[in-house]
Structure 1
Amino acid sequence: MTLDAQARPKNRGRHGGGGGRGGGDTKPRAPRPRRRILRWSAATLAVVILGTAGAGYLYYEHLNANIKKAQRNLGDSDVPEATPNAAGQTPLNILMIGSDSRNTAKDLKLGGSKADVGRPPLADVQMLLHVSADRSNMSVVSLPRDTMIPIPRCTTDSKKYEALSLAMANESLGRGGPGCTVATWQKLTRIHIDHFMMVDFSGVVDMADAIGGVPVCVRQNVYSHTSDGHGSGLKLKAGTHPVKGEQALQWLRTRYGFEDGTDIGRTHAQHMYMNSMVRQLRANATLGNPTEMRRLAEAATKALTVDEGLGTVKKLYDLAGELQKVPTKRITMTTLPTVQWSQDHNRLVPDPEDADQLLSMVRDDTPLDGRGAKHKSEQKAKAPSTPAGTLAVQVRNGTGTSTEAPTPARARAVTQVLQGKGFTRAGADVGAATEAKTLVLYPSADLEGDAQAVAKALGVPLGQVHRSTDVSGVTLIVGADWRTGDTYPKSRSADRTPSTAAVLSGDKEDACMEVQKGFTW
C-alpha cells in the first residue's frame, strides 16, 4: 500500500536535514518558490515505493527506530552492478517482498491458523522494480508464487541452508530471510539487486488504512470463497470500488475468483491495484493535516523491513527522489512468462524463451513499454587484452531445461567449434549448468574485452556477455537456445516485450479484472 504525505520543511536542501518536530502549524501559508513537496509511497503488498518522498523527517529518530533491517544478500556470490551508460548513470533494482508470516497475533488474525505460528515465512509476493539508468522509465516484473526455480545456498550467522536445484519460489524467504530471496533473484535473473523492501499482512492493512481507498474494478460480481474454506473472502459488486484496510489485503491475496484461478491472475490484480494507487497519489498529493502525516509516517516505517542501505528515513527519501523522476505513463507492470511444469500441473516453470527475453531486456535496461533505446546499445565493444590463441576459455553444457535433458557432450562439441576459430586453449568444463540462453561470463573488468571476443567469434550477441563472480575466468555456457549445430542461431528481436508478460501500463485507467467462473454471485 502506499503512504503519501506532504510536508513543508523549513530551510532544508533537496535531501533534507534538521528537526521539524511536533504537529506544526496547520494554517495556510503563502507559497514558497523553492519549497519541496515530500511524498512518501510505500507500496502495497509488494512494498513498492512508487511515488515521491518522505514525511519531512517528522520525529526523525523515532521513525528511524521503527524501520526493521536485514542483510541484503545471504548467497555465496553476488552479481556485479550494471555497466554505466554513456552519461555515467546506472539502473536501480529493488526487490519487493510480501511475507505471509503469521508470527504475530495481528498477522494470524488476518489469515491462517494456529498451526502456521512459528513456521518459516513464505515470500508470496515477489516483484523486481527496475528503474532505468536515465530515470525515464520503470519496469516491474512479478514472479508467480508457484514457480519452480533454483534456490542457491544461503548462510546466516547461525545456519547454512544448502542449495536446492528446484523449489517453489516462495520458499526462499524461509531460508534465512529476505537476503536469501535476493540471492535467489540474482541467480534467476543475473541482475544485481541494489535493495529490498519487505512487508507482512498487518503492514499491508495498516498502510492501506493510512492512505484511504484505492479504486479497483471487477467486470462481474466476485466472491472469493470455496466450499472447503479457501479464498481471500473478497466480495465486491461489478464495477469500480475503493478498497482499503483488510479489504485491500483481500484484493491483493485473491487467487480463487480472478481470471483462471491461478497465481498469475493474482499478480495481474496486484498490478492493477498498484497502478491505481500511484495515479491517485500523484493526482492528490496534498495532505496538509499534520496528524495525518504522522499517522502515515508511523504506518510506513513500522511496516517495512529493508536492507541496511535503506535503513533510515533519509535513505528512503533519497531513493524516493530517484523514483519520482519517472512519469506514471512510463511505469510498466509485467509478469514473468511461465509454462506448466511437466512434473506437476499445479506448478509453473519460467518459459525458456519468453522469460529469458523479458529478463534480458531488463538486464540491458531496455524499456518494456517499447519506447527508447537499449542501454547496451550505448556501449562500445572493448578490445581484447589477450590473443585468442593464449586465452583460456571454459565451455560448459547448460542445454538442459525443465522438460529436456542436456544434449550429451555439447560442451565438447562447441569447444571444437571455438578451437577452430583460433581459441586453441578452449576446454570443455565438466561442470553442469542450466541456462535458457547462451552466455559468456567473465569475473573482472580486465577480461570483458576477451569475453566479448569469444562471443563475437561465435555470433553470440554482446548483450549476452556478463560479468559474474561465479566464474574464475572467461566461461562460455552453451544454453538451451543452442542444443545442436555449429552455428549459434539468430535470436529474436531484443527490444520487444513478450506478449506473455501481460503488460499493464501505469496510465491505463480502464483496467478491470475478469472474474473466474463459479465465483460470481
Structure 2
Amino acid sequence: MAQSDVRGQDPAVDDGMSLEPRSREATEGSGRHGGGRRRGDSRAERPRRRRRALRWSATVLAVVILGTAGAGYLYYQHLNSNIRKGQRSSGDDSKAVRTPANAAGQTPLNILLIGSDSRNTPEDLKLGGHRQSVGAPPLADVQMLIHLSADRKSAAMVSIPRDTRVHIPECTDPKTGKKYPETDDIINTTLARGGAGCTLATWEDLTGVYIDHWMMIDFAGVVNMADAIGGVEVCVKQNVWDHPTPAQPGGSGLKLKAGTQKIYREQALQWLRTRHAWGSDLMRARAQHMYLNSMIRTLKKQNVFTDSGRLMDLAEAATKSLQVSEEIGTVKKLYDLAMELKSVPTNRITSMTMPHVDDPQNGEHVVPDQANADKMWQMLRDDVPFDKNGKPSAAQQVANTTPATKTPSTDPGRLGVLVRNATRTATAAAVGGRANDISEVLAQKGYTRATTDTSATLSEDSTVVQYPSADLQGDAQAVARALGIPTTAVKQSTDVSGVTVVVGADWRTGTGYPKQSKPKAGDLPGGSDAINGSDSTPCMPVYKPYQW
C-alpha cells in the first residue's frame, strides 16, 4: 500500500511519484534503450522523446492509481473503523486553561496516555488476571502525560504512581449517564468513575494543565504494538524473575538474564507490569520510561514511516490497540500527531515521575510532594523545557503574557469581593481562617464589602482572582494589584457570580502574596527521577528476592 493511503492521502506528504523530471540527466538518460544521448540525436527529437516518456509515465501512474485507489480507500476506512473513540473529558468542573501561545502563535500539546488493566476480552484475560476479573471495572494502572512543547522541539513524559491519593472531581459516565460525586481516592480508580475522560479531568484538577487528548491501551494492545515494532531493547543488572514469593503473592512472570536484550510480545507486557522485582512503584515507572525511550529510538532507527510493509503492520496494531478521545479518532489525525512527536530529537525528550511522599492516611499509598510537584506542574503550564539541550528562540517567548490593563467599573468601596480558602493539600489540612485574613487585608485597601465564603474548604495549588464577565475584568485586576497577585492569575470563570479571590496552597501564610520565582529550562524538581530520551545506558536493578 502506498504511504499516502495510511496517511489519509495527505497532499503535503511527498510520495516520491512526482511527474516532473528529477534532473536534466535523468530525463536525457531515459528512453527505450536506456543509456545517454546518442551521437545522431537532434535537438528537435529530444523534446518529443521527453514528451512521449512523460505521457507514458502519466499513463502508467493513472492505471496504478485507478487500480489501487479503491483498495487503498477501503483499507483506510478499515483502519478508521478499528479505532475506538470516547469523550475527551467526563469531569463536570475543570478549571484548567490552555497555555498562552508563544510569539509564533504556537501552543503546547498535552496527551494523557493510559494503560488499562481490563480483562474484559479473552485475549486480555489470557495475558493476565483471573476469570473473576471479567466484567469488573478496569483500573488505570499506567498514567503518563506526554507534553509536546509549543515549538515542537522538546517533549516530556510525566508519570503518576497508580496508588497516588488525589482529589477526584465529580464525573459523569458518558455511556450510562451515571454521576459519581467528587472524592479523595487513589488515581487508578478514576477509569471506573466515568472512563478515560474522568482520568483526564482528575489530572487537570491536580496539575492545572489543560490536556488536549487521551489515548488508552490495554494488555493485548501492548503485546501487539511490541510485535509490530519488532521488539524493544531493555537492560537488567541481574537475572530477574518476577514470581510469587511467600511474602508477596502475584507477579508479572517476567524472566530475563542480566544484560541488554530485546523483548517481544508477552515479555513486553511483563516488563511494563513488573513492580515487585523492581522494588517499588517509582522503579516501575522508571522501567516504563526506559521502555518508551527505547521504543522511540527503535522507531527512529527503523525509519518505519518510509517502510510501507512495517508501516501497515504498525498501523493495524495501533488502530486495533488504541482507544482515543473522539477529536483525534481518525488515522489521518493520529498520523499527523505521530509526525509531530517524531520530529522531537531524542536528547530533547525527558521522562520523569511526579515527586511524591508516603500518604499519612495509608502507608500503602502516596501523595504528591507538594512543593516539588507544584514546580513540575508549573513548568508544564508555562511550557518550560525539562532539558537544557535546546537554544532559546524568539518563538519560545509567550505572547501577551501580561493581559492588557482594564479600567475598573466601580470604586473599591462599592465592589463586592468574595474570598475563598483553598489552601488544603493532599498532605496538609487547610489553614484555618485564611479567607478571613485576606478579607481583612482587602478591607484595609478600601474593599470594605469583601466577605468570606464559609460554605466549603477548597483545594487549589495556586491563588487566582476570578471574575464572571468582561465588564468586571478591570475590577478583578485592581483586586489582584491590591493584594500583590500577578495579573496573569486573573481568570474569567463561569463558576463565580462576582469578583472572587481563591487563596491557594501557594499562599498559606502572610498578608502579602509571596513572590514566585519562575523555573528555568532543565531546573527539575527533586524526586523526579528524570531520564533523557537519548540515554541508552540505564539498566534496571533487581530487588534481591527476585534475582535468580
TM range (shorter): 0.7 to 0.9
Shift of 1:236: 1.5
Note the 1:108-257 alignment, pairs <5 A: 108-155=125-172, 156-227=174-245, 228-257=248-277
Q: Which amino acid in the other structure matches residue 487 of structure 1?
A: G
**How far apart are the structure 2 equivalents of 1:401 and 1:377?**
32
**Aligned alpha-carbon RMSD (Å):** 3.0
Name 2:541's counterpart in structure 1: 514
- Answer yes or no: is the 8 Å Cα contact 1:364–1:375 preserved in 2: no
Name 1:316's counterpart in structure 2: 334
**How far apart are the structure 2 equivalents of 1:132 and 1:189?**
17
Name 1:384's counterpart in structure 2: 406
Name 1:51's counterpart in structure 2: none
- Answer yes or no: is the 8 Å Cα contact 1:225–1:233 preserved in 2: yes
Name 1:61's counterpart in structure 2: 77
Does residue 93 of structure 1 match 2:117?
no
Note the 1:388-427 alignment, pairs <5 A: 389=412, 391-427=415-451
Name 1:7's counterpart in structure 2: 3
Q: 1:349 to 1:316 in 2, by over 3 A?
A: same
Does residue 483 of structure 1 match 2:499?
no
Deviation by residue 1:212-232 (Cα, 9 ceiling, x = unmatched)? 111111122221123254211
Q: Secondary structure at the match of 2:441?
A: helix
- Answer yes or no: is the 8 Å Cα contact 1:383–1:450 preserved in 2: no
- Superposition TM-score, scaled by structure 1 size: 0.85
Deviation by residue 1:337-375 (Cα, 9 ceiling, x = unmatched)? 111100111101111111111001101111111454875
Q: 1:482 to 1:290 in 2, by over 3 A?
A: closer
**How far apart are the structure 2 equivalents of 1:315 and 1:201?**
24
**How far apart are the structure 2 equivalents of 1:239 and 1:447?**
64
Name 2:48's counterpart in structure 1: none
- Answer yes or no: is the 8 Å Cα contact 1:385–1:446 preserved in 2: no
Q: 1:325 to 1:451 in 2, by over 3 A?
A: farther
- Answer yes or no: is the 8 Å Cα contact 1:365–1:375 preserved in 2: no
Name 1:301's counterpart in structure 2: 319
Deviation by residue 1:319-338 (Cα, 9 ceiling, x = unmatched)? 22332332221111121111
Query: Could you tell me which of 85, 89, 107 is aligned with 1:73?
Result: 89
- Answer yes or no: is the 8 Å Cα contact 1:96–1:127 preserved in 2: yes
Query: Could you tell me which of 84, 90, 100 is aligned with 2:101?
Result: 84
**How far apart are the structure 2 equivalents of 1:262 and 1:295?**
35
Q: Which amino acid in the other structure matches residue 91 of structure 1?
A: P
Does residue 332 of structure 1 match 2:356?
no
**How far apart are the structure 1 equivalents of 2:266 and 2:135?**
23
Q: Which amino acid in the other structure matches residue 276 of structure 2?
A: Y
- Answer yes or no: is the 8 Å Cα contact 1:58–1:294 preserved in 2: no
**How far apart are the structure 2 equivalents of 1:120 and 1:351?**
29
Q: Which amino acid in the other structure matches residue 254 of structure 2?
A: L
Shift of 1:377: 7.9
**How far apart are the structure 2 equivalents of 1:112 and 1:63?**
29
Deviation by residue 1:362-415 (Cα, 9 ceiling, x = unmatched)? 011111114548755862342034256155432111122334322221101111
Q: Which amino acid in the other structure matches residue 500 of structure 1?
A: G
Name whichever of 471-480 and 129-138 sits farther off.
471-480
Name 1:348's counterpart in structure 2: 366
Q: Secondary structure at the match of 1:316?
A: helix
Query: Could you tell me which of 264, 273, 279 is aligned with 2:282?
Result: 264
Larger radius of gyration: 2
- Answer yes or no: is the 8 Å Cα contact 2:103–2:398 preserved in 1: no
Deviation by residue 1:34-54 (Cα, 9 ceiling, x = unmatched)? xxxxxxxxxxxxxxxxxxxxx
Q: Secondary structure at the match of 2:197?
A: helix
Higher helix share: 2
**How far apart are the structure 1 equivalents of 2:330 and 2:444?**
56
Name 1:41's counterpart in structure 2: none
- Answer yes or no: is the 8 Å Cα contact 2:110–2:211 preserved in 1: yes
Q: 1:447 to 1:132 in 2, by over 3 A?
A: farther
**How far apart are the structure 2 equivalents of 1:472 and 1:449?**
15
- Answer yes or no: is the 8 Å Cα contact 2:8–2:76 preserved in 1: no
**How far apart are the structure 2 equivalents of 1:188 and 1:478?**
16
Instruction: Count how many residue pairs are aligned between Structure 1 and Structure 2.
Output: 483
Deviation by residue 1:261-313 (Cα, 9 ceiling, x = unmatched)? 22111111111111111112112214776544332221110001111111111
Shift of 1:181: 1.1
Q: Where does structure 1 lack aligned partners over 5 or more consecutive residues?
A: 34-55
Q: Where does structure 2 lack aligned partners over 5 or more consecutive residues?
A: 24-71
Q: Secondary structure at the match of 1:166?
A: strand
Shift of 1:13: 4.7
Shift of 1:466: 4.8
